[in-house]
């Protein structure tokens, strides 16, 4: 991996694609859902300590921008310093959650969001530890399909599966 952006357009495209998939795999491995650009720069993805080279913040932003175009990333602020990263799309998460629900015969029951992402029952599921915003989006995706309905209460949200 070259630690600077390539000037040639073709090479640059390939390089960007490689960076993108690297970032996504890294986040998937670490189960990261939000990234800080400055923190990312220090992470092993963009910082090769062996050869003491790291990608500049601008270059990281270019890579992230590419990810945003693909729909895997969303900026949290205008300065583009923090972002949400979606190495799995909300629909896919929704599908996983729904599979778990129907496998356990819990269709037609009510859940709290905390129960889904932090409960003892979901300990071995991939969506365990999912951040709230991501969980909410996946449930919204399910809601659009008519497989779930989000219930808002005074303190916190819940969901019912169908």
Partner 1 sequence: MGNLFGKKKATRVTEHDRAVLQLKQQRDKLKQYQKRITLQVEKERQLAKQLLKDGKKEKALLLLKKKRYQDQLLDKTENQISNLERMVQDIEFAQVEMKVIEGLKVGNDCLKKMHEMLSIEEVERIMDETHDAIEYQKQIDDMLVGSLTQEDEDAVLAELEAITQGDADLELPEVPEEELPEVPEQEPVREKERAKKKPEREMVAV
Residues of this chain that bind partner 1 (CB under 8 A): 109-112, 114-115, 149, 151, 153, 155-156, 158, 160, 162
How near is the Cβ of 71 to partner 1 at its closest, in Å? 25
Paired tokens of 121:
């029952």
Query: Which two structure tokens, joined as six digits, stand for 128?
Result: 């365990």
For residue 106, the minimal CB distance to partner 1 (Å) is 10
- Nearest-Å Rg of the Cα atoms of the chain is 18
DSSP conformation letters of 20-39: HHHHHHHHHHHT--EEEHHH
Shortest Å distance, C-beta 112 to partner 1: 5
**Cβ-based nearer residue to partner 1, 52 or 154:** 154
Closest CA to 1 of 11, 21, 14, 15: 15
Q: Tokens in use for 77?
A: 């602020």
Nearer to partner 1, 2 or 114 (CB): 114
CB of 151 to partner 1, least distance (A): 5
Nearer Cβ to partner 1 (77/120): 120
> Are residues 73 and 82 in contact, defined by beta-carbon separation less than 8 angstroms?
no
Minimum gap (Å) between residue 122 Cβ and partner 1:
13
Enter the tokens of residue 35: 């990234």
Q: Which is nearer to partner 1, 131 or 149 (CB)?
A: 149
* Residue number with CB closer to partner 1 (117 or 138): 117
Give the chain's length.
162
């Amino acid at each position: 991996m070259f630690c600077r952006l390539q000037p040639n357009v073709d090479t640059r495209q390939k390089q960007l694609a490689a960076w993108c998939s690297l970032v996504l795999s890294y986040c998937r491995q670490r189960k990261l859902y939000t990234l800080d650009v400055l923190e990312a720069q220090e992470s092993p993805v963009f910082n090769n300590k062996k050869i003491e080279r790291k990608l500049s913040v601008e270059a990281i932003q270019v890579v992230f921008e590419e990810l945003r175009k693909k729909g895997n990333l969303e900026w949290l602020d205008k300065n583009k310093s923090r972002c949400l990263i979606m190495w799995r799309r909300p629909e896919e998460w929704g599908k996983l959650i729904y599979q778990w629900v129907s496998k356990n015969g819990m269709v037609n029951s009510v859940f709290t969001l905390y129960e889904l992402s932090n409960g003892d029952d979901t300990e071995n599921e991939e969506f365990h530890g999912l951040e709230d915003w991501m969980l909410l989006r996946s449930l919204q995706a399910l809601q659009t399909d008519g497989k779930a309905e989000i219930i808002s209460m005074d303190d916190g949200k819940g969901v019912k599966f169908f």
